[in-house]
Amino acid sequence: MIILRLDRVMADRKISLNELSEKVGVSNVNLSKLKTGKVSAVRFSTLNAICKALHCQPGDILEFVDDE
């Protein structure tokens, strides 16, 4: 299972959803879904923009947890 940790990275960077939305060019609604983990897919272009805005790696945002 893949867990999204966008909320944690945003808190570490002290960046709001609105500010990230402006930097990334993705709507607040879509970023909110990412933040809460209520998505089944993420475009690489979106992930790239988020990582660039937050100065992080994809592994900082995505975590694999074995569901066994």
- Domain CATH code at residue 53: 1.10.260.40
Q: How many independent structural domains does the chain possess?
A: 1
6: pLDDT strictly greater than 80? yes
| Dist CA 57 CA 51 (whole Å) | 6
Tokens of 41: 């897919």
17: pLDDT strictly greater than 90? yes
Range of the domain at 50: 2-64
Question: pLDDT over 70 for what percent of the chain?
Answer: 100
Q: Is the pTM of this model over 0.85?
A: yes
Which neighbouring-strand residues pair with 62?
A: 4
3-state DSSP call for residue 47? helix
Vertex 10: Cα angle to 7 and 11 (nearest 5): 85
44: pLDDT strictly greater than 80? yes
pLDDT of residue 22: 96
| Dist CA 12 CA 59 (whole Å) | 15
